[in-house]
Amino acid sequence: MSIKVLVSDKLSEEGLAILQKEKGIQTDVKTGLTQDELIKIIGEYDAILVRSGTKVTKEIIEAGKKLKIIGRAGVGVDNVDVAAASSKGIFVVNAPEGNTISTAEQTMALMLSLARKIPWAYNSMEKKEWDRKTFEGSELYDKTIGIIGLGRIGKEVAHRCKAFGMKILGYDPYLPEEQADILGIKLATLDEIYKNADIITVHTPLTDQTKGMISTKEIEKMKQNVMLINAARGGIMVEEDVKKALVAKRIAGAAFDVFSSEPPKEYLFTGLSNCIVTPHLGASTGEAQVNVAIETAAVMVDFFKKNVVRNAVNYPSIAPELYEEIKFHVSLSERIGKLLSSLQDGKIKEINIRHQGDKAGKAVHIMKLSVLKGILEPILSEATNFLNAPIIAKERGIKVNEIAQEIDKDFPELIKIELVTDKGEISASGTVHQNGDYRIINVGEFEFDFKPVGNFICVQQSDKPGVVGIIGTVLGNHNINIAEIQLSRNSKGQNAMTFIHVDGEITDTIIKELTKDEKVKNAQLVKF
């Protein structure tokens, strides 16, 4: 069956070509759709790729019954209801690198234009005036720039400011000091930046925390000659407050490439001789438009063809090379989760994920998501995936613990999952060998060695003669072939557990027949 991708905004031909050349992916380009028109057709599609024009609202997401991924060809995802997508298990991906250079260069262009008063000098020359005195500017050399947000773009701005001989203060609560030192950035608090910076530029996403973060209150802490630049997201600076400061000459200048409303409902800054405005040109280079289209299209291909999630804003992305290293651990984690989900009894209260080994350590966060998906998917009617599994677990009050410890010296790479319910506890362990072969090695106190792939019957029985015969007879009567059988016991004559790998489908009737004999305590179908 073909995967259908809807491209609802204009995309470069280079990006479209990546999707169109893939077999099994049907790409439909339908631009200029209204919300109602999009709602009517979105149910046909597995993915939608947008730029800034299309608003992917909650209503569209609700109507997208087949949607698995939303791609934004650009950095910001303000036009996508990420929370609604996450609750439905839909991945939202962007192109964080494609327009990095173009936005950093736009920031520098605004900075230089503001410092050297280039727009007003040009306008004067257009009037055939020669006025050098009025347009005396200031150098960037030896000035202090405050960069708020040191992600990809913020770092590129810092790199260029360093070349201009500027002193760089940076604010980013997630950037390690060692990395800042390498970049030539002195980490500072916001108040330190407000107090000491000659130029302040913001490079953060628009969030509840960053919305309106620079207002009159913050401006009052700044130097009289400070210049403000926003080429990130409209709304980070309170535009009305900045205008008041510009008119009152409380600050020297400002430059805006982005606005809280685009296009602006009110052009606040027209006619000011100390403010530069541009119509959101940060990513408006030919190179950037091609790059973001290529990046987003490639991410979608990887998603559908390789089951790899990159550049997700609502899911921890994983580099392809790392995924190749840990993919067997991820698969094993999910399958142990499925096993425990099939065998558990009662309401799940807690999940403990214990792991040992270098690769298991690298994969632990993705393993956590895999375990949750494996446990929840068989017992819930709603669609469960790596994305919404943590949300579902939290809603149900399930506590998840990750524990790194030495569990078994005989296995360099080991994953042990413990499932705690209101009726007891059950655990299972697995290992990944150097060749990528992954195996279940124990369930509770019972030792095994089998690969969890295919349909299995797990039989819990008394360790008495005849049980294997009962199993074989029942399956034979239903023309079910046994591919593999493994039996383990805790001690002679006590309890035993058997895993039977079968070729056919197992019905409820077969399970009931297996448990008719008193020696068989329980039988469960486990689908890996």
Residues that are catalytic? 233, 262, 280
Q: Is 67 exposed, middle or buried (0-12, 13-18, 19+ CB in 10 A)?
A: buried
Q: 390: phi > 0 → left, psi -120 to 50 → alpha, else beta; which?
A: alpha
Q: Where are the beta strands (DSSP E) in 258-408?
A: 275-277, 348-356, 399-404
Question: 146 — phi, psi (to 5°)?
Answer: -105, 115
CB 320 within 8 A of CB 310: yes
Nearest to 471 by CA among 445, 449, 496, 439: 496
The token duo for 335 is 């399958």
What does the longest C-alpha to C-alpha distance in the chain come to? 107
Query: How does strand 227-230 pair with strand 186-187?
Result: unpaired
State the Cα–Cα distance between residues 55 and 35, nearest whole angstrom: 8
DSSP summary character for residue 239? H
State the Cα–Cα distance between residues 487 and 482, nearest whole angstrom: 13
The token duo for 298 is 């490639």
State the Cα–Cα distance between residues 336 and 224, nearest whole angstrom: 63
Residue 120: in which H helix or E strand, if any?
helix 118-126
The token duo for 184 is 């030539």
State the Cα–Cα distance between residues 435 and 398, nearest whole angstrom: 34
What are the DSSP calls for 67-102, one per residue? Answer: --EEEESSS--TTB-HHHHHHTT-EEE--TTTTHHH
Instruction: Say whether the peptide bond before residue 264 is cis (omega within 30 degrees of 0).
Output: no
Nearest to 268 by CA among 299, 285, 289, 247: 247
Partners of 428 in the beta sheet? 417, 443
CB atoms within 10 A of CB 162: 15
What are the DSSP calls for 397-451, one per residue? Answer: T-EEEEEE----TT-SSEEEEEEEETTEEEEEEEEE-TTS-EEEEEETTEEEEE-
Residue 7: in which H helix or E strand, if any?
strand 3-7
